[in-house]
């Protein structure tokens, strides 16, 4: 069978699992793993949770360990354009042939669960978590970096036993599933802490630190906190006109490190400090045979598309998809481009605090463009338009059903920025590259 047809069949198979929804808990994932001989038992892992920054920290950690000479696996979510972005070895995405083979293999091993166990059908995310672990086992990686999908305690990635656990910045997101208070969110994220395994925390909020301290103490896990054990000291953004870079000064205990990155913003300086702390803990505790200087050099080479990224057509894009992230992005944009007003392209999912998000964006904009995206949980652009109109704001609002048309319009207006949803950014990048508006690999 031609590879193209085989890959399409594999995609259709995996996408068909969307109907299973979200089912917090580890039972299904453990069952899937047992049916493929528990490959997780033969791998070393780093586990990364958090509300914001976990993708960037995962990417920095992978880049650093690869630069230090290790064969790395990286599992992240969501993807921007292709599902294959979620599964990487030594930075390279899984091939179409490998994805197809593993998807069919795993489904054949687990088919009976979908046909007979009607209440416990493995979900899409449980399935691809196991697929990732199988992929890393086959490729014999030295270390696999696993990003939590949502929460931590009941996330399907929490079946692994890592060398190191990392918790990045924490905010109020997914509150319907994780709880209404910051302490609830912290409890769920701290669920990745394992007995005796060191944990790094990049959140300063004392309420969060108290929850993590208590759980770490109960599990006899050494914990390293931002502000106490490591710090982000300062950063400076360099705007060449074509792209942005950033000089970061971070501190681990009594040592300072100057690290230049392609990722910019105060939040990225925080992420750099977390990744630096991770390498120091791994090095000082002999958890991995790496040179700290080589690992830190890898941070400098990290690329993570869609994070305050300027596309070739000049459009600025950012995957800020919740209130905390969009607040940070606005702060960074105002710092780099003072006094500039933007033509804003916005779309958002309905589980976000989208009214507060758009309210923060209004002062940044001279015009707001709203667009439909290929996601069943999107907020209807008409509802956003109506909300803005009630604020009696005089800015022009334009609604598009077609992303390529929206992009052309914004580029004609100039000073364009797209943000509000990772799914929006994936479609914008795809359309900007002349490809399908709604990527087939969604």
| Nearest of 45, 66, 54, 46 to residue 270 by alpha carbon | 54
Give the distance, in angstroms, between the CA of residue 216 and the centroid of all CA atoms in the same chain.
24
Q: What pLDDT score does 172 carry?
A: 75
47 Cβ contact partners less than 8 Å away, ≥ 6 residues apart: 146, 148, 157, 158, 160, 162, 164, 165, 166, 192
Q: Given the DSSP bridges, would you call strands 199-201 and 87-89 parallel, antiparallel or unpaired? A: unpaired
- The stretch 330-359 carries a mean pLDDT of 92
The answer to whether 215 and 237 are in contact (CB under 8 A) is no
Show me where the domains of the chain are located.
3-300, 309-432
161: tokens are 């036993």
Q: Per residue in 177-230, pLDDT tens?
A: 777 798 999 999 999 999 999 999 999 999 999 999 999 999 999 999 999 999
Q: Could you tell me how many helices (H) and strands (E) the chain has, helices first?
A: 15, 17
pTM assigned to the model: 0.92
Q: What's the mean pLDDT when you consider all of the chain? A: 91
What are 17-38's pLDDT values in tens digits? 887 777 788 999 999 999 999 9
Residues with Cβ within 8 Å of 363's Cβ and at least 6 positions away in sequence, in order, are none
pLDDT for the residue 435:
65
Cα distances from 334 to residues 82, 237, 361, in angstroms, run 31, 12, 11
**Nearest to 197, CA basis, from 293, 287, 112:** 287
Q: Does residue 88 contact residue 62 with C-beta atoms inside 8 Å?
A: yes
Write out the CATH class of domain 309-432.
alpha beta
Q: Report phi then psi at 132, rounded to 5.
A: -60, -45
DSSP per-residue letters across 82-123: -GGGGEEETTEEPPHHHHHHHHHHHHHHHHHHHHH-TT-PPP
Structure confidence at residue 359 (pLDDT): 94
Locate 94 and state its tokens: 């899984």
* pLDDT over 50 (residue 440): no
Q: In this model, does residue 141 exceed pLDDT 50? A: yes
Q: Which residues pair with 251 in a beta bridge?
A: 231, 256
Q: pLDDT (tens digit, 9 = 90+) per residue, 74-94?
A: 999 999 999 999 999 999 999
> Helix, strand, or coil here: 366?
strand
Q: Is the pLDDT of residue 439 over 70?
A: no
| Helices 292-300 and 54-67, axial angle in degrees (round to 10) | 130
| Helices assigned H by DSSP within 20-95 | 27-35, 54-67
As a dihedral over the C-alpha atoms of residue 167, residue 169, residue 173, residue 178, rounded to 10 degrees, the angle is 30
CATH architecture under which domain 3-300 falls: 3-Layer(aba) Sandwich (3.40)
Q: 164 and 46 in contact (C-beta within 8 Å)?
A: yes
Q: Which one-letter DSSP state was computed for residue 172?
A: S
HSE of 139 in the Cβ direction (CA atoms, 13 Å)?
28
- Residues near 210 by beta carbon (within 8 Å), at least 6 away in sequence: none
Query: Is residue 120 very low, low, confident or very high in pLDDT (cuts 50, 70, 90)?
Result: confident
Strand order in the sheet with 244-252: 230-239, 244-252, 255-261
Please give the biggest Cα pair distance in the chain: 62
Using pLDDT thresholds of 50, 70 and 90, give the confidence band for residue 148: very high
> Degrees (nearest 5) of the Cα angle 34, 36, 42?
85
Assess whether pLDDT exceeds 70 at residue 59.
Answer: yes
């Amino acid at each position: 069978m031609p590879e193209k047809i085989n890959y399409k069949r594999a995609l259709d198979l995996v996408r068909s699992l969307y109907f299973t929804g979200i089912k917090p808990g580890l039972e299904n994932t453990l069952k899937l793993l047992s049916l493929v001989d528990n490959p997780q038992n033969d791998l070393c892992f780093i586990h990364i949770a958090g509300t914001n920054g976990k993708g960037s920290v995962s990417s920095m950690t992978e880049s650093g360990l690869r630069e230090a000479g290790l064969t790395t696996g990286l599992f992240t979510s969501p993807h921007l354009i292709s599902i294959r972005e979620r599964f990487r070895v030594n930075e390279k995405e899984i091939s179409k042939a490998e994805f197809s083979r593993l998807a069919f293999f795993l489904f054949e091993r687990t088919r009976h669960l979908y046909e007979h166990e009607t209440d416990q059908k493995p979900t899409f995310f449980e399935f691809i978590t196991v697929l990732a672990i199988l992929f890393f086992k086959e490729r014999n990686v030295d270390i696999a970096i696993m990003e939590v999908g949502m929460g931590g305690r009941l996330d399907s990635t929490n079946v692994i036993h890592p060398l190191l656990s990392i918790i990045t910045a924490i905010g109020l997101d997914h509150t319907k599933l994780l709880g209404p208070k910051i302490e609830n969110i912290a409890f769920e994220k701290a669920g990745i802490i394992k007995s005796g395994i060191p944990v790094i925390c990049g959140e300063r909020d004392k309420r969060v630190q108290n929850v993590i301290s208590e759980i770490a103490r109960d599990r006899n896990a050494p914990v390293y906190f931002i502000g106490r054990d490591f710090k982000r000291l300062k950063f400076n953004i360099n705007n060449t006109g074509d792209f942005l870079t950033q000089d970061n000064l971070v501190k681990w205990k009594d040592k300072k490190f100057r690290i230049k990155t392609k990722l910019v913003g105060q939040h990225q300086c925080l992420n750099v400090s977390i990744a630096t702390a991770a390498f120091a803990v791994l090095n000082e505790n002999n958890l991995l045979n790496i040179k700290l200087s080589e690992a830190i050099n890898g941070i400098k080479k990290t690329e993570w598309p869609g994070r305050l990224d300027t596309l070739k057509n000049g459009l600025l894009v950012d995957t800020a998809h919740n209130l905390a992230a969009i607040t940070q992005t606005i702060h960074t944009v105002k710092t780099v481009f003072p006094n500039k007003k933007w033509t804003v392209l916005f779309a958002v999912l309905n589980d976000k605090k989208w009214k507060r998000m758009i309210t923060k964006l209004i002062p940044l904009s001279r015009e707001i463009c709203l667009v439909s995206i290929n996601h069943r949980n999107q907020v209807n652009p008409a509802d956003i338009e109506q909300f803005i109109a009630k604020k009696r704001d005089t800015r022009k609002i334009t609604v598009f059903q077609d992303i390529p048309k929206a992009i052309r319009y914004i580029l004609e207006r100039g000073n364009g920025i797209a943000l509000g949803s990772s799914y929006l950014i994936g479609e914008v990048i795809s359309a900007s590259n002349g490809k399908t508006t709604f990527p087939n690999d969604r």
